[in-house]
Amino acid sequence: MDKRQQLLIQCHEAFSTTESARILTLYRSRDNRLSFDERLFITKEIEKVFYPVFLELRNVNPSLTDWDLLLSVLSYEGFSVSVIAECFSVSNDAVRMRKSRLREKLPEEWFSLIFHTVTKMYQDQCHDSVTDKISASDDAAIPLASENQNQSEMEQNEPIKMTFGKAIIKGLTGIIKFRGRASRAEFWYYSLFCLITQIFLFAVFVAKENIKNFDVDYYMGLILLGVSILVAISHCAASVRRIQDTERNGWMWFGTYLTPWLILIVSFVWKIEYDVSLRNRMPEPGLPDKFVMNWWTVIFIIDLIVLLIVMIATVIQYCRKGTEGPNIYGPDPLFRNNPKLK
């Protein structure tokens, strides 16, 4: 028994007596999901018990994230993909995708010990003290053969390199496509394209003012308006897909984002109509009511503040990393199935 295996067994014995181990073991018999406090408690306790293992793994590969370390520990303890996914509040495929990536990050000896993978070199070192205790009727674990099959399926995916041209094509072909997901590169590339397009359309609109022919000016204005609307709709669709890439409701964001803008537009229209009615009042124009104007100013300022907060929050959401692997809105946009690997 080498030091790695001895260290893992020591931490396992300490963890088996904790409240987190009991919660996770009994999770499958519960009718409800883990609460946020339970997830936080489990994470903190695992970090405390397996701290020596975390240090060793960090020394082996400093690029390992907290996500990687916690996933490694829970896999070593014999918990199934569904239980691990519940701990992180992600999809099962996201867990399998991360496992397949850990195969490249971890040395073979560590990977074989943590994921109970039998290899020729480390066959005698594989740890099975946890999985042997789980009864065959318990649904808390997935057989190793099934896990290896899922990992091999995830390894058939190859990364997609998103370019400016690909982002434009996906954005234009998905003008009214509000389903699915969009990666950060795809969204920001297409946002840059939409900005350039709108600037170009505005320049053409200014230039067309010099056209003397009424028919040409009229039809060109309609074309510019139509193209501008299509670009705006396609960008809204890309925004919804970007939000859904982080496994959040895109339509809920859409309503939250548009509400302050609608209030702003309605308040401006109301003020314009109010000013027009005052100027047209007979026999002489009237003066604005101070009470009405004060309330309009208050509503306008509050709406501007809310709009600023929403825009900042939206940009932050756009910059968030998407869910690894498939989620409820579709497959991972950063990977595609490679038929050559089948």
- pLDDT for 281-331, tens place per residue? 655 655 667 777 778 888 888 888 988 898 888 888 888 888 776 777 877
What pLDDT is stored for residue 188 in this prediction? 92
What pLDDT is stored for residue 69 in this prediction? 86
What pLDDT is stored for residue 31 in this prediction? 56
For residues 24 and 74, what is the distance between their CA atoms, to the nearest angstrom? 10
Token pair, residue 342, equals 């089948």
Contact call for residues 34 and 61 (beta carbons, < 8 A): no
What pLDDT is stored for residue 125 in this prediction? 43
What pLDDT is stored for residue 158 in this prediction? 58
282-318 core/surface letters (b: 16 or more CB in 10 A; e: else): eeeeeeeeeeeeeebeeeeeebeeebeebeeebeebb
- Helical packing angle, 66-76 and 36-49, nearest 10°: 80
Contact call for residues 97 and 332 (beta carbons, < 8 A): yes
What pLDDT is stored for residue 216 in this prediction? 60
* Residues of the chain scoring pLDDT < 70: 1, 28-32, 117-159, 209-217, 281-288, 325, 336-342
What pLDDT is stored for residue 311 in this prediction? 85
Concatenated DSSP letters of 169-221: HHHHHTTT--SS---HHHHHHHHHHHHHHHHHHHHHHHHGGG---HHHHHHHH
Contact call for residues 158 and 341 (beta carbons, < 8 A): yes
Contact call for residues 151 and 158 (beta carbons, < 8 A): no
What pLDDT is stored for residue 215 in this prediction? 60
What pLDDT is stored for residue 56 in this prediction? 87
Q: Residue 327: helix, strand or coil by DSSP?
A: strand
Query: For the chain, which residues make up each domain, given as ranges?
Result: 3-155, 164-319
- pLDDT for 59-78, tens place per residue? 888 888 888 888 888 888 88
What pLDDT is stored for residue 337 in this prediction? 52
Residue type, 323: T
